[in-house]
Amino acid sequence: MSVNRELQDTIADMVDGRRGILAADESSGTIAKRFDSIGVESTEESRRFYRSLLLSTEALGDYVSGVILFEETLGQPDDRSTPLPQVAAAQKIVPGIKVDKGKGPLPGTAGDMITYGLDGLAERLAGYKEQGARFAKWREVYPVSPHNPTRLGLTANAEMLARYAAVCQSVGIVPIVEPEVLMDGDHSIERDAEVNEQVWHQVFHALHRYGVALELMILKPSMVTPGKDCAKASPEQVAEYTLRSLRRAVPAAVPSINFLSGGQGPEEATANLNALNQLWQSPWQLSFSYGRALQEPALKAWQGRAEQGPAAQQALLKRARLNHLAMLGEYRESLEKE
């Protein structure tokens, strides 16, 4: 099969107007914090059991079309010795892999960050592909302050995202491009919109320079919101500002925009996605790629106890279904009580 055919098939399997992506690619440090919150030690076995629990949730594939896995998970089996990528694929959930290697300060700036991991990426992707991965994800982060992101921060991060995406497509892996504008701070929604537009313009200029086929990638951006130290905006405000900025900066050729939750609570992230889909008929699919906003209720229900597994799965399935409804613009707050 040709590389282009592989990419087209993956996009067709992931972009169907009704399903989103489960982000289960927490780093070892992040998942340790999540487990600490419920009094569970983060070990290789506890992580395997928990992620196996998520992926084996019956009917999850009705609402989730893809799952982003951490490298460790890609090589782990369920209790029946079935590799977890195959567990996902059995539900028509496309397995994917987080490929960046974390972030650090960007030299030459005060406050901007840069992500590592391009060295040897093509070779790593070939190995991940053999294990079942069909798409990848790379995250760049943008702190917001009166001086950040700087011009260098904007261009350097866009360059990394574009180089990563080009490598992915060259080996038949669909790239998820994730430029996350952080919610940390007290900036206004207007400032957040300004920064997101700057980020997206730079990212798509870089993608064009590197010859990335926009029809064969997925964008995973932040929603436009005030900083978390400000009063929250209404879902209608978030939708209005987000869509206005997207229309100004994101080409219509992109097939799907799968928003990250970025610190929003589960109900907040769902309500905002619903408002986005109610406000305007967009050229893109407007979907979700949530981690904590999908998993938090499941994690609280699980509490590290095997007998609570079914309750955890039902909590995950409920959130996935509600976000599916939000993609259709049919979510209502009353559904949270059902």
Catalytic residues: 178, 220
Where residue 228 falls (left for φ over 0; alpha for ψ -120 to 50; beta otherwise) is alpha
Residue 327, CA distances (Å) to 57, 276, 318 in order: 21, 8, 14
Length of the chain measured in residues: 338
CB 106 within 8 A of CB 82: no
Angle at 55 between CA 36 and CA 337, to 5 degrees: 75
> H or E segment at 1?
none
Question: Which 3-state string (H, E, C) describes 177-222?
Answer: EEEEECCCCCCCHHHHHHHHHHHHHHHHHHHHHCCCCHHHCEECCC
Per the structure block, which two tokens stand in for 195?
């920064």
Alpha-helical runs (H) found in the chain: 3-14, 28-36, 44-55, 71-74, 84-89, 121-130, 151-170, 189-209, 235-249, 266-279, 292-302, 309-327
